[in-house]
Amino acid sequence: MYGILAEGKSDAGTLKVLVRKLAGDDRLPVRTKGYGGSGELLNKGAKDLGTFKTLGVTRFIVCQDADGPDPAPKRNLVTQRIVGLSGLGEECCIVIPVQELEAWILADIECASKIITSWHPEPIESPESIVNPKERLENLSRDSKRKQRYFHRTDNERIAAHLDLKKVAKKCPAFQVLVAFVKNAAAKRRQ
């Protein structure tokens, strides 16, 4: 069973969809906890990982947006304030999307038209170089009357179900950490 901690409910729900898709199992048990931002995640994350462990979770994912081009500072912070304090080791994966998790959606933005049928966005080559991907998605989704069609809180999970994960991994190296973690766990289950 997986346990996912993320800055917000939308990120946690999106990761749940992605983990199940990567594992090839729509019924894979996944517990999630989304916080009211980075500060709350950092302050409560270690305790909540412990709670997940008592509930039978065996694989843990902690996700915090890099909010910039370099994930290293946030990775160090999550390592010190959450994973290090929790006592968990290799069963815990730290996922730090470059900029924001929405960069992964930008990597295969064309699939958004499967959810928002009136929107047909053009491909984006370097989604991790876009500052504030969430805002970019919102702006790109505006129709001719400037009405926004994309809303991260409701659309991220639905779009994630349609993402071409190979395309996301190719365009977003930060996503490859999650792919490797889930694939490794799936391989161990088959042994």
Going by C-alpha positions, the residue among 106, 108, 110, 128 that lies closest to residue 173 is: 128
Are residues 81 and 34 part of one domain?
A: yes
Are residues 126 and 139 part of one domain?
A: yes
pLDDT digits (tens, 9 = 90+) for 108-148: 999 999 999 999 999 999 999 999 999 999 999 999 899 99
In terms of Cβ atoms closer than 10 Å to its own Cβ (0-12, 13-18, 19+), residue 161 is middle
Range of the domain at 60: 2-100+173-190
Strand, helix or coil at 62?
strand
Are residues 107 and 90 part of one domain?
A: no
Are residues 93 and 184 part of one domain?
A: yes
Are residues 69 and 37 part of one domain?
A: yes
Specify the pTM: 0.94
Compute the distance between CA of residue 72 and CA of residue 86 in angstroms, rounded to an integer.
20
Residue 168 lies in a domain: no
Separate counts of helices (H) and strands (E) for the chain: 9, 4
CATH number for 49: 3.40.50
Number of neighbouring beta carbons within 10 Å of residue 17: 19
Are residues 80 and 6 part of one domain?
A: yes
Answer whether 165's CB lies under 8 Å from 179's CB.
yes
User: Is 90's pLDDT higher than 90?
Assistant: no
Compute the distance between CA of residue 116 and CA of residue 43 in angstroms, rounded to an integer.
36
Compute the distance between CA of residue 64 and CA of residue 82 in angstroms, rounded to an integer.
11
pLDDT digits (tens, 9 = 90+) for 71-85: 999 999 999 999 998
Residue 167 lies in a domain: no
pLDDT digits (tens, 9 = 90+) for 160-182: 999 999 999 999 999 999 999 99
161 vs 82, 83, 158, 181, CA distance in Å? Answer: 28, 28, 6, 19
Tokens encoding 33: 């906890």
Are residues 118 and 32 part of one domain?
A: no
Are residues 96 and 17 part of one domain?
A: yes
Q: Which residue has the tokens 């906890």?
A: 33
Q: What is the mean pLDDT of the chain?
A: 94
Residue 165 lies in a domain: no
